[in-house]
Amino acid sequence: MDQKIPTGRQIAAARALSGLSQAEVAGRANISVPTLKRMEASDGPATGMANNVAAVQRALESAGVEFIPENGGGAGVRLRKETA
């Protein structure tokens, strides 16, 4: 996690791309579902304790999601390309 804090929308989009439920992501990040819901509802950078946001980002990255920083084209997420 060498990038900026992901936005709530990035987290929600990453979860949708990964096909994981809120309960699954929360479990993998060792946080509560209400905490994840608050992060996803954030306007701008995800709100919450920095270690919890980082844990969610790591959980989603381990599920194959790549967070794309704001680089003039807008922040986003995508699935990592599978390697053979």
**Domain 8-79 - what CATH class?**
mainly alpha
**Phi-psi map region of 64: left, alpha, beta (phi>0 left; psi -120 to 50 alpha):** left
For residue 84, the model assigns a pLDDT of: 59
Residues contacting 53, CB < 8 A, separation 6+: 5, 6, 39, 46
What CA–CA distance (Å, rounded) separates 39 from 37?
5
Question: Tens digit of pLDDT for each residue in 13-72?
Answer: 999 999 999 999 999 999 999 999 999 999 999 999 999 999 999 999 999 999 998 887
For residue 4, the model assigns a pLDDT of: 84
The tokens describing 64, both together, are 């194959």
Question: Tens digit of pLDDT for each residue in 70-79?
Answer: 887 888 999 9
Q: Write the single-letter amino acid at 23.
A: A
Query: Binning pLDDT at 50, 70 and 90, where does residue 2 land?
Result: very low
DSSP 82: P
